Structure 1
Amino acid sequence: MTNGRKIVLVGCGAVGTSFVYSAINQGLAQHYVLIDVVKDFAEGNEMDLTDTHAVLPSPFATIKAGDYEDCKDADVVVITAGRPQKPGETRLQMVADNAKIMKQVATGIKNSGFTGITVIASNPVDILTQVYQEVTGFDSSKVISSGTTLDSSRLRKLLGAKLNVSPRSVKAYLIGEHGDSSVAIWSRSIVMGKTIAEYIEEGVVTEKELAEVKDEATHMAYKIIEKKRATFYGIGACLAKIVKSVLNDEKASMMVGAYLTGQYGLEDVYVSVPCIVGANGIEQIIEWNLSEDEVAGLRQSGAQLKEVYKTAKAAINE
């Protein structure tokens, strides 16, 4: 048993290491373990990250390259393993390749005896989170998809810029798939205490402009990938936020991927919806009273994910 909090990262690419760097800057844990299929990659990141120990304001005890046995006494395992998204490729097109990788990861973690909380950001994240949960048999409340946490952050940034307001003062949400079929929930969005409907009535913003903001938020990853081949700082920070809520039992409200069992008319699928995240993982799924169009969009997004999951299921059963 370790003395202090322990986080294990599986997948030491740009997303995973951005998460760890964000986590150690916030002092989220005392012990970090890095696991990667390329051992040298994990060891190189271990050396690089420990170079920060003498200068960062938040101290930690250890960072080491390890293996799945290190998951046994971890508080949280964060999974970012998988092949990267190619320019022009949708997240859903990656499903078969990364489902096979996730099955291997899930088996290694399960065999370690791990009993903590898992947070997953491997794409397509909703599908791969369900693969992991099915392979491990872990309680679905303890298996969290990063979902539309990043998508919603992008929406807040863009809407704030449109209204000349800090994104911290914007409450705006994308739910459903972490991807093209996500749905903007304008009926629940508030900026500086005013609803979006009020801003429309006052002529500050139009419905057409809101549709453009949503479209830009949904497709921002493609633009970033085209320019620099990957996105990682934003999702790294979002993962740290989710893990922080788990480790500190914050019971914070977040747009994370949860396994639905009838909520919003969806079941047997991981979809991003408002959830309370705390020490026990997803402690509550919040059911909002949405507009008819929003409900229809969410159900369509969920139905698409269920259909794509069949491909993942076939891949892991080969």
Structure 2
Amino acid sequence: MSQPSPASLMAIKIVIVGAGSVGVTTAYALLLSGLAADIVLIDIDGNRAQGEAMDLSHAGHSAQARVRVGEYEDCAGAAAVIITAGVNQKPGQTRMDLVKTNYALFQDVVPRVASNAPETVIVVATNPVDVLTHAAQRLSGFPVQRVIGSGTAMDTTRFRHELGHHYGVNPRNVHAVIIGEHGDSQLPVWSLASIAGMRLRDYCAQKAIAYDQDAMDACSRRTKEAAYEIIRRKGKTNYGVASVLVSIIEPIITNSDAIITVSRVGTYAGVADVALSMPCKLNRNGAHQDVPLLLSESERGQLRESALSIKSFIDSTKVEGV
């Protein structure tokens, strides 16, 4: 797969809708990454967005990029539009508690993005991300591969961090994924988790240590509860999700066919027309599910439960189009 030249990278525009904590942190991470020449912030509070753009520009003294405030017309020609706008999760709330307020916002935002940038890739970060990824696909009319939710990419990163800490290895050398809902019904794929090419039980046997399922369950539990714990302590999450959004944007810009666990609309474990996360190949055309994940019978059952949970919530919202 050919990579874009430095000159072509300099033509890349990324639009971020929502200049709140996640949106601005994502803009900062993108600025430092050098992936885009033009980073556009769109926010209902134009004055605040202008202040953020000014501050970000002062941080970009060594970066070959421009950060500016724009309108929806500025989505034209964007390689990707990241939607972070919406009400944030508060202590004690679940992600699903946010759906009606944030869906109403999407009814305004998504058609405006789609009409101005009919060839772009939409990346949804607003929670509940699976329900809103489904909504964004319907509201935009885009093919399913061009509407991507950040999904369990963040959970997968947290999961690898937990396993790496437990086994004393760098998380980059842990191959393990969280699939399903970005929420309470998510599931770790234990049957495929590996270190140094070995399944976890085999790795433990080779290292002459006991495989501790209770410790593994604790890693999974901390992964699922991480956002709640962070929000309880500091009121929001932003750094982790911003880094994950940049990791999703990179293969879209570079057309590099990276495999990342993201959310998109499809049929999962027999449940049709629902958005949840599975490993997908990402490139300039969006997210593609080329090969079904090889799951154990138990994991297939858990995935179906997760899909039904999301589907049930979509059906019960009684908001047209979700």
Of residues 259, 273, 279, the one that matches 2:278 is: 273
TM-score by length of 2: 0.93
Query: How far did 1:265 drift?
Result: 2.3
Which one of 152, 156, 174 corresponds to residue 152 of structure 1? Answer: 156
What is the one-letter code of the residue matched to 1:241?
Answer: S
Q: 2:64 matched to 1:59?
A: yes
Identity among equivalent pairs (%)? 35
> Residue in 1 aligned with 2:120?
116
Task: Quote the Cα distance in structure 1 between the aligned partners of 2:47 and 2:315.
Answer: 35
State yes or no: 1:249 paired with 2:255: yes
**Superposition deviation, residue 251 in structure 1:** 0.3
Distance 2:321 2:119 in 1: 25
Residue pair 1:78, 1:118 contacting (<8 A) in 2 also: yes
**CA distance 1:87–1:119, shift in 2 (3 Å):** same
- TM-score w.r.t. the length of structure 1 is 0.94
Shift of 1:126: 0.5
Question: Within 2, Cα distance between the matches of 1:157 and 1:113?
Answer: 36
Name the counterpart of 1:94: 98
- Aligned-partner SS, 2:27: helix
Q: What CA RMSD, in Å, does the superposition of the two structures yield over aligned residues? A: 1.7
- State whether residues 133 and 264 of structure 2, in contact with CA within 8 Å, keep that contact through their aligned partners in structure 1: no
What's 2:3 paired with?
Answer: none
Is the CA contact (8 Å cut-off) linking 2:144 and 2:266 kept in structure 1? no
Tell me the matched-pair count: 312
Q: Say if 2:29 is the partner of 1:22.
A: yes
Unaligned runs of 5+ in 2: 1-8
State the match for 1:34 in structure 2.
41
SS in 1 for 2:99: helix
Deviation at 1:199, TM superposition (A): 4.1
The match for 1:138 is 142
Structure 1 unaligned regions, length at least 5: none
1:288 and 2:293 aligned: yes
Instruction: Report the CA distance between 1:205 and its aligned residue.
Output: 3.2
Q: Deviations over 1:101-130 (max 9, x none)?
A: 111111221232432111110000000011
CA distance in 1, matches of 2:228, 2:105: 23
1:4 aligns with 2:11: yes
Q: Secondary structure at the match of 1:51?
A: helix
Q: State the Cα deviation string for residues 208-244 of structure 1 (Å, max 9, x = none).
A: 1111100100110000000100001000000000000
